[in-house]
Protein backbone atom coordinates (compact mmCIF):
# COMPACT_ATOMS: atom_id res chain seq x y z
CA UNK A 1 0.00 0.00 0.00
CA UNK A 2 1.28 3.47 -0.94
CA UNK A 3 0.58 6.18 1.65
CA UNK A 4 -0.01 8.58 -1.24
CA UNK A 5 -3.03 6.48 -2.30
CA UNK A 6 -4.93 6.87 0.97
CA UNK A 7 -6.98 9.67 2.47
CA UNK A 8 -6.74 9.34 6.26
CA UNK A 9 -9.89 10.57 7.99
CA UNK A 10 -10.86 9.56 11.51
CA UNK A 11 -13.97 9.63 13.65
CA UNK A 12 -14.36 9.92 17.43
CA UNK A 13 -15.61 7.52 20.10
CA UNK A 14 -18.87 9.53 20.28
CA UNK A 15 -19.42 8.89 16.55
CA UNK A 16 -18.59 5.18 16.91
CA UNK A 17 -21.08 4.92 19.80
CA UNK A 18 -23.83 6.37 17.58
CA UNK A 19 -22.87 4.51 14.36
CA UNK A 20 -22.87 1.12 16.12
CA UNK A 21 -25.43 1.93 18.82
CA UNK A 22 -22.88 0.85 21.43
CA UNK A 23 -24.29 0.38 24.93
CA UNK A 24 -22.26 0.60 28.15
CA UNK A 25 -22.18 -3.21 28.16
CA UNK A 26 -20.96 -3.28 24.55
CA UNK A 27 -18.11 -0.93 25.51
CA UNK A 28 -17.03 -3.38 28.23
CA UNK A 29 -16.57 -6.16 25.65
CA UNK A 30 -13.24 -7.01 23.98
CA UNK A 31 -13.57 -5.08 20.72
CA UNK A 32 -11.84 -5.25 17.35
CA UNK A 33 -12.01 -2.03 15.29
CA UNK A 34 -11.37 -3.03 11.70
CA UNK A 35 -10.26 -0.29 9.31
CA UNK A 36 -10.03 2.21 12.19
CA UNK A 37 -7.31 4.24 10.45
CA UNK A 38 -6.71 7.51 12.34
CA UNK A 39 -10.00 7.35 14.30
CA UNK A 40 -9.73 8.16 18.02
CA UNK A 41 -12.05 5.27 18.95
CA UNK A 42 -9.19 3.12 20.26
CA UNK A 43 -7.35 5.96 22.05
CA UNK A 44 -10.49 7.27 23.76
CA UNK A 45 -11.94 3.89 24.74
CA UNK A 46 -8.57 2.64 26.03
CA UNK A 47 -8.35 5.85 28.08
CA UNK A 48 -11.70 4.95 29.65
CA UNK A 49 -10.52 1.44 30.56
CA UNK A 50 -11.91 -0.35 27.49
CA UNK A 51 -10.22 -3.24 25.70
CA UNK A 52 -9.84 -2.53 22.00
CA UNK A 53 -7.50 -3.50 19.18
CA UNK A 54 -7.54 -1.69 15.82
CA UNK A 55 -6.37 -3.15 12.51
CA UNK A 56 -5.65 -1.14 9.39
CA UNK A 57 -3.07 -1.27 6.58
CA UNK A 58 -2.00 2.31 7.40
CA UNK A 59 -0.43 1.10 10.65
CA UNK A 60 2.62 0.07 8.60
CA UNK A 61 3.48 3.81 8.51
CA UNK A 62 5.06 5.94 11.23
CA UNK A 63 3.24 8.61 13.22
CA UNK A 64 5.13 11.33 11.30
CA UNK A 65 4.18 9.80 7.94
CA UNK A 66 0.49 9.54 8.83
CA UNK A 67 0.54 13.05 10.30
CA UNK A 68 2.03 14.55 7.10
CA UNK A 69 -0.49 12.72 4.96
CA UNK A 70 -3.38 14.04 7.11
CA UNK A 71 -2.06 17.62 6.74
CA UNK A 72 -1.76 17.17 2.99
CA UNK A 73 -5.27 15.76 2.33
CA UNK A 74 -7.24 17.72 4.96
CA UNK A 75 -8.07 20.89 2.91
CA UNK A 76 -9.18 18.77 -0.06
CA UNK A 77 -11.50 16.61 2.04
CA UNK A 78 -13.18 19.66 3.62
CA UNK A 79 -13.54 21.31 0.17
CA UNK A 80 -15.10 18.09 -1.20
CA UNK A 81 -17.59 18.07 1.72
CA UNK A 82 -18.54 21.67 0.90
CA UNK A 83 -19.04 20.80 -2.80
CA UNK A 84 -21.33 17.88 -1.86
CA UNK A 85 -23.01 19.54 1.14
CA UNK A 86 -26.52 18.54 -0.02
CA UNK A 87 -25.62 14.86 0.51
CA UNK A 88 -25.39 15.38 4.29
CA UNK A 89 -27.64 16.21 7.24
CA UNK A 90 -26.37 19.38 8.95
CA UNK A 91 -27.76 18.72 12.42
CA UNK A 92 -24.78 17.35 14.37
CA UNK A 93 -22.29 19.53 12.45
CA UNK A 94 -22.80 23.20 11.55
CA UNK A 95 -20.83 23.18 8.30
CA UNK A 96 -17.90 21.44 6.53
CA UNK A 97 -15.35 23.45 8.55
CA UNK A 98 -16.95 22.19 11.78
CA UNK A 99 -16.73 18.56 10.53
CA UNK A 100 -13.09 19.19 9.66
CA UNK A 101 -12.20 20.54 13.09
CA UNK A 102 -14.01 17.70 14.93
CA UNK A 103 -12.28 15.10 12.73
CA UNK A 104 -8.90 16.83 13.13
CA UNK A 105 -9.28 16.69 16.95
CA UNK A 106 -10.06 12.97 16.68
CA UNK A 107 -7.04 12.39 14.40
CA UNK A 108 -4.75 14.36 16.75
CA UNK A 109 -6.01 12.23 19.65
CA UNK A 110 -5.14 9.13 17.57
CA UNK A 111 -1.68 10.50 16.69
CA UNK A 112 -0.85 11.22 20.33
CA UNK A 113 -1.76 7.63 21.26
CA UNK A 114 -0.29 5.89 18.19
CA UNK A 115 3.27 5.10 19.33
CA UNK A 116 2.21 3.69 22.71
CA UNK A 117 -0.68 1.81 21.03
CA UNK A 118 1.74 0.22 18.55
CA UNK A 119 3.97 -0.88 21.43
CA UNK A 120 0.99 -2.31 23.34
CA UNK A 121 -0.29 -4.17 20.26
CA UNK A 122 -3.45 -2.04 20.08
CA UNK A 123 -2.70 -0.89 16.51
CA UNK A 124 -1.94 -3.80 14.20
CA UNK A 125 -1.17 -3.59 10.50
CA UNK A 126 -3.58 -5.95 8.72
CA UNK A 127 -6.03 -5.96 5.82
CA UNK A 128 -9.30 -7.71 5.20
CA UNK A 129 -10.11 -10.32 4.04
CA UNK A 130 -7.44 -11.93 6.25
CA UNK A 131 -6.82 -11.04 9.87
CA UNK A 132 -3.86 -12.25 11.95
CA UNK A 133 -6.09 -13.08 14.93
CA UNK A 134 -7.19 -16.25 16.70
CA UNK A 135 -10.71 -17.65 16.42
CA UNK A 136 -13.09 -15.85 18.82
CA UNK A 137 -10.36 -13.54 20.10
CA UNK A 138 -12.90 -10.70 20.29
CA UNK A 139 -16.48 -10.40 21.49
CA UNK A 140 -17.39 -7.64 19.04
CA UNK A 141 -15.91 -6.34 15.77
CA UNK A 142 -16.91 -2.96 14.31
CA UNK A 143 -16.20 -1.73 10.78
CA UNK A 144 -16.81 1.95 10.09
CA UNK A 145 -16.76 3.48 6.62
CA UNK A 146 -15.07 0.67 4.72
CA UNK A 147 -17.29 -2.28 3.74
CA UNK A 148 -20.39 -1.36 1.67
CA UNK A 149 -19.28 2.30 1.46
CA UNK A 150 -16.52 1.35 -1.00
CA UNK A 151 -18.74 -0.98 -3.03
CA UNK A 152 -17.17 0.04 -6.32
CA UNK A 153 -13.69 -0.88 -5.12
CA UNK A 154 -14.57 -3.98 -3.04
CA UNK A 155 -16.63 -6.68 -4.82
CA UNK A 156 -19.35 -8.91 -3.32
CA UNK A 157 -17.01 -11.90 -2.84
CA UNK A 158 -14.51 -9.74 -0.94
CA UNK A 159 -17.37 -8.45 1.23
CA UNK A 160 -18.51 -12.00 1.95
CA UNK A 161 -15.01 -13.26 2.74
CA UNK A 162 -14.31 -10.22 4.92
CA UNK A 163 -17.49 -10.65 6.93
CA UNK A 164 -16.84 -14.39 7.42
CA UNK A 165 -13.30 -13.61 8.55
CA UNK A 166 -14.61 -11.01 11.01
CA UNK A 167 -17.10 -13.61 12.33
CA UNK A 168 -14.22 -16.06 12.79
CA UNK A 169 -12.38 -13.67 15.10
CA UNK A 170 -15.36 -12.01 16.84
CA UNK A 171 -18.65 -13.26 18.28
CA UNK A 172 -20.58 -10.39 16.73
CA UNK A 173 -19.84 -8.07 13.80
CA UNK A 174 -21.35 -4.63 13.15
CA UNK A 175 -20.79 -2.66 9.94
CA UNK A 176 -21.76 0.97 9.24
CA UNK A 177 -22.85 2.44 6.85
CA UNK A 178 -24.73 0.22 4.39
CA UNK A 179 -24.80 2.85 1.63
CA UNK A 180 -22.11 3.47 -0.96
CA UNK A 181 -20.30 6.75 -1.63
CA UNK A 182 -23.28 8.00 -3.65
CA UNK A 183 -25.60 7.43 -0.68
CA UNK A 184 -27.38 4.47 -2.34
CA UNK A 185 -27.90 1.21 -0.48
CA UNK A 186 -24.92 -0.95 -1.50
CA UNK A 187 -25.72 -3.35 -4.33
CA UNK A 188 -23.66 -5.97 -2.44
CA UNK A 189 -25.81 -5.82 0.69
CA UNK A 190 -28.64 -8.12 -0.29
CA UNK A 191 -26.59 -10.90 -2.00
CA UNK A 192 -24.08 -10.85 0.85
CA UNK A 193 -26.84 -11.05 3.50
CA UNK A 194 -28.53 -13.90 1.63
CA UNK A 195 -25.29 -15.86 1.29
CA UNK A 196 -24.37 -15.36 4.94
CA UNK A 197 -27.85 -16.52 5.94
CA UNK A 198 -27.53 -19.59 3.68
CA UNK A 199 -24.20 -20.38 5.33
CA UNK A 200 -25.72 -20.36 8.82
CA UNK A 201 -25.15 -16.83 10.08
CA UNK A 202 -27.78 -14.62 11.69
CA UNK A 203 -27.86 -11.34 9.73
CA UNK A 204 -29.94 -8.24 10.35
CA UNK A 205 -30.14 -4.59 9.46
CA UNK A 206 -30.51 -2.41 12.53
CA UNK A 207 -31.45 1.31 12.72
CA UNK A 208 -28.86 3.41 14.56
CA UNK A 209 -29.02 6.96 15.96
CA UNK A 210 -26.11 8.30 13.84
CA UNK A 211 -27.06 10.91 11.19
CA UNK A 212 -24.63 12.51 8.77
CA UNK A 213 -24.49 11.09 5.24
CA UNK A 214 -28.06 11.05 3.92
CA UNK A 215 -29.48 7.52 3.75
CA UNK A 216 -26.91 6.17 6.21
CA UNK A 217 -28.94 5.26 9.29
CA UNK A 218 -28.54 1.49 9.54
CA UNK A 219 -25.82 -0.97 10.48
CA UNK A 220 -25.46 -4.62 9.52
CA UNK A 221 -25.21 -7.02 12.43
CA UNK A 222 -23.85 -10.53 11.80
CA UNK A 223 -23.65 -13.33 14.37
CA UNK A 224 -22.68 -16.94 13.82
CA UNK A 225 -25.75 -19.07 14.63
CA UNK A 226 -23.49 -21.43 16.59
CA UNK A 227 -23.28 -18.66 19.20
CA UNK A 228 -26.17 -17.26 21.23
CA UNK A 229 -27.80 -14.45 19.23
CA UNK A 230 -29.14 -11.28 20.91
CA UNK A 231 -32.00 -9.88 18.84
CA UNK A 232 -31.81 -6.11 18.62
CA UNK A 233 -34.63 -3.65 19.02
CA UNK A 234 -35.83 -2.05 15.77
CA UNK A 235 -34.11 -4.61 13.58
CA UNK A 236 -34.98 -6.43 10.40
CA UNK A 237 -33.49 -9.91 10.21
CA UNK A 238 -33.05 -12.07 7.15
CA UNK A 239 -35.14 -15.22 7.22
CA UNK A 240 -36.02 -17.27 4.11
CA UNK A 241 -39.58 -15.89 3.91
CA UNK A 242 -38.81 -12.25 4.83
CA UNK A 243 -36.55 -10.56 2.28
CA UNK A 244 -34.63 -7.49 3.37
CA UNK A 245 -35.09 -4.26 1.39
CA UNK A 246 -32.52 -3.96 -1.37
C1 LIG B 1 -12.69 6.03 5.35
S2 LIG B 1 -11.49 5.37 6.44
C3 LIG B 1 -12.46 5.10 7.92
C4 LIG B 1 -11.62 5.24 9.16
C5 LIG B 1 -12.39 4.96 10.47
N6 LIG B 1 -12.97 3.64 10.48
C7 LIG B 1 -13.45 5.98 10.70
O8 LIG B 1 -14.63 5.69 10.48
O9 LIG B 1 -13.12 7.11 11.07
C10 LIG B 1 -11.30 3.70 5.80
C11 LIG B 1 -10.13 2.96 6.45
O12 LIG B 1 -10.11 1.62 5.94
C13 LIG B 1 -8.76 1.21 5.81
N14 LIG B 1 -8.69 0.07 4.89
C15 LIG B 1 -8.60 0.09 3.54
N16 LIG B 1 -8.57 -1.18 3.06
C17 LIG B 1 -8.64 -2.01 4.14
C18 LIG B 1 -8.65 -3.43 4.30
N19 LIG B 1 -8.58 -4.24 3.24
N20 LIG B 1 -8.74 -3.93 5.54
C21 LIG B 1 -8.82 -3.12 6.62
N22 LIG B 1 -8.81 -1.76 6.53
C23 LIG B 1 -8.72 -1.22 5.31
C24 LIG B 1 -8.07 2.46 5.30
O25 LIG B 1 -6.67 2.41 5.50
C26 LIG B 1 -8.77 3.55 6.11
O27 LIG B 1 -8.07 3.83 7.30
Q: What Cα–Cα distance (Å) separates residue 125 from each residue in 57, 59, 183, 243? A: 5, 5, 29, 37
Mean local confidence (pLDDT), 86-111: 96
Q: What pLDDT is attached to residue 67?
A: 97
> What pLDDT, in 10s, does the model give residues 7-52?
889 999 999 999 999 999 999 999 999 999 999 999 999 999 999 9
User: Which residue of 12, 146, 162, 176 sits with most ligand 1 atoms within 8 Å of its CB, as the best mutation to test the pocket?
Assistant: 146
Closest CA to 148 of 103, 182, 172, 124: 182
Q: What Cα–Cα distance (Å) separates residue 172 from each residue in 31, 165, 188, 222? A: 10, 11, 20, 6
Distance 129 CA to ligand 1 centre (A): 12
> What pLDDT, in 10s, does the model give residues 134-173?
999 999 999 999 999 999 999 999 999 999 999 999 999 9
User: Which has more confidence, 3 or 38?
Assistant: 38
> What pLDDT, in 10s, does the model give residues 62-77?
999 999 999 999 999 9
Please tell me the residue having the least CA distance from ligand 1 atom 6: 36
Please tell me the residue having the least CA distance from ligand 1 atom 8: 144
Parse the chain into domains and list their residue ranges. 9-237
Ligand 1 atom at shortest distance from the alpha carbon of 19: 8
Confidence of residue 188 (pLDDT cuts 50, 70, 90): very high
User: Which has more confidence, 33 or 238?
Assistant: 33
CB 13: neighbour CB atoms within 10 A?
23
> What pLDDT, in 10s, does the model give residues 216-237?
999 999 998 765 444 444 455 5
Ligand 1 atom at shortest distance from the alpha carbon of 37: 27
Please tell me the residue having the least CA distance from ligand 1 atom 13: 35
Q: What pLDDT is attached to residue 237?
A: 54
Domain 9-237 has CATH 3.90.226.10: no
Distance 9 CA to ligand 1 centre (A): 9
Please tell me the residue having the least CA distance from ligand 1 atom 18: 127
Q: What pLDDT is attached to residue 8?
A: 87
Amino acid sequence: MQLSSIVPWGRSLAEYKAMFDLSITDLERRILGCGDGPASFNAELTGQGGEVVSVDPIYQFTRQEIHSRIQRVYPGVVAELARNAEQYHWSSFRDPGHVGSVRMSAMNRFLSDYDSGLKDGRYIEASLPELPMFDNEFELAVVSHLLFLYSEQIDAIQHLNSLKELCRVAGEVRVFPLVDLKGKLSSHLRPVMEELYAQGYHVERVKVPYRFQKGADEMLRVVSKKRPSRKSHGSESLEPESKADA
